[in-house]
């Protein structure tokens, strides 16, 4: 029933002019920030620790704009689900597309490094159309069963192969050996025993070593791809030059490669902090010996 209702809403917003849909999303973002105050205390604390040179007013402004960006992202997804795929694609600009063909010419596939930045979900759905190659993405099931069902249906419709995060390693390596693209995010917290601690926005953050290990194992290069929303409403997909696989899977090599990948994401967050998802508890796990009270 809930899926049916969401589909009806998606078809309704898809019929709205793009400007009206954006205005509705901005209003929703204002409600999230000013009324609901979605994880406001946590997000402001994370911003204060990550950007100590900014003022409290600047932190609040980033939080408000982040809520607006998330509402715009949700509206884009609803419009996509309602049939506006071509319209959304028309407002995308892709930079560095030549790197995709060049990296796949090696015949080892590629791990697409991305993050919860910009409209990352829309990016995943549009990659097969934009790049002209199949995509598999590693993703955790959403906690809300209705949203999870809708999301996986959208992936199927877009030609995206979803790989459940649990036991995803073998399926991902098989996709790489078929010379496919495999999407991978490394900007979320991992339990301390499952991650490697690297510096992220000035503090140690437990990060999955899976990208580095898989890249070394399969000999697959890492292709950084990020999407950002410009002030005029355009969305820019930037494909950066690939990173060669690490030379081995020893702990220090894995940690160093993971840190290098994370720096790419960090650089973009520092330029456009309002486009990153500050609601996730990125620094929840702490290094041995650090007080729990120091975590955010």
Q: What is the pLDDT of residues 75-128, one digit of tens each?
A: 999 999 999 998 898 889 999 999 999 999 999 999 999 999 999 999 999 999
Position 293 in a domain: no
pLDDT for position 7: 83
CA dist., res. 225 & res. 222, Å (int): 10
Position 276 in a domain: yes
Helices 210-218 and 169-177, packing angle to 10 deg? 40
Strand, helix or coil for residue 236: strand
Average pLDDT, the chain: 93
pLDDT for position 145: 79
Q: Grade residue 296 by pLDDT with cuts at 50, 70 and 90.
A: low
* Number of domains, the chain: 1
**Domain hosting residue 242, numbered range:** 2-288
- What are the distances in angstroms from CA 225 to CA 99, 107, 110, 128? 10, 19, 11, 13
Position 239 in a domain: yes
Stated pTM of the model: 0.93
CA dist., res. 284 & res. 287, Å (int): 10
Angle, alpha carbons 81-84-85 (nearest 5°): 85
Find the Cα–Cα–Cα–Cα dihedral 190, 192, 111, 267, rounded to 10°: 80
Position 157 in a domain: yes
Position 60 in a domain: yes
Regarding beta strands 222-229 and 235-239, do their DSSP bridges make them parallel or antiparallel, or are they unpaired?
antiparallel
Position 296 in a domain: no
pLDDT for position 295: 53
Contact 264, 240 (CB under 8 A): yes
Alpha helices in the chain (DSSP H): 2-14, 18-31, 40-50, 56-81, 85-90, 98-104, 120-131, 145-158, 169-177, 210-218, 251-271
Position 295 in a domain: no
pLDDT tens-digit map of 146-168: 778 888 888 888 999 988 877 78
């Amino acid at each position: 029933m809930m899926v049916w209702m969401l589909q009806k809403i998606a078809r309704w917003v898809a019929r709205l002019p793009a400007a009206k849909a954006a205005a509705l999303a901005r209003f929703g973002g204002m409600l999230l920030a000013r009324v609901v105050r979605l994880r406001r205390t946590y997000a402001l604390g994370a911003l204060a620790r990550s950007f100590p040179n900014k003022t409290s007013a600047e932190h609040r402004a980033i939080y408000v704009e982040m809520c607006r960006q998330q509402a715009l992202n949700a509206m884009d997804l609803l419009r996509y689900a309602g049939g506006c795929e071509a319209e959304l694609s028309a407002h995308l600009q892709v930079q560095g597309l030549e790197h995709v063909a060049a990296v796949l010419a090696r015949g080892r596939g590629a791990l697409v490094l991305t993050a919860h930045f910009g409209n990352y979900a829309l990016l995943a759905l549009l990659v097969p159309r934009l790049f002209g190659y199949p995509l598999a993405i590693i993703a955790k099931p959403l906690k809300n069963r209705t949203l999870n069902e809708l999301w996986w249906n959208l992936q199927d419709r877009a030609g995206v192969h979803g790989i459940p995060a649990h036991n995803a390693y073998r399926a991902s390596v098989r996709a790489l050996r078929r010379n496919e693209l495999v999407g991978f995010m490394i900007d979320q917290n991992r339990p301390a025993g499952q991650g490697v601690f690297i510096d992220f926005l000035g503090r140690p953050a437990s990060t999955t070593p899976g990208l580095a290990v898989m890249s070394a194992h399969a000999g697959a290069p890492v292709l950084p791809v990020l999407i950002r929303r410009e002030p005029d409403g355009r969305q820019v997909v930037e494909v950066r030059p690939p990173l060669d696989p690490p030379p081995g899977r020893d702990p220090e090599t894995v940690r160093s490669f993971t840190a290098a990948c994370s720096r790419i994401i960090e650089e973009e967050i520092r330029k456009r902090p309002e486009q990153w998802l500050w609601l996730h508890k990125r620094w929840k796990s702490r290094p041995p010996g650090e007080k729990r009270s120091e975590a955010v």
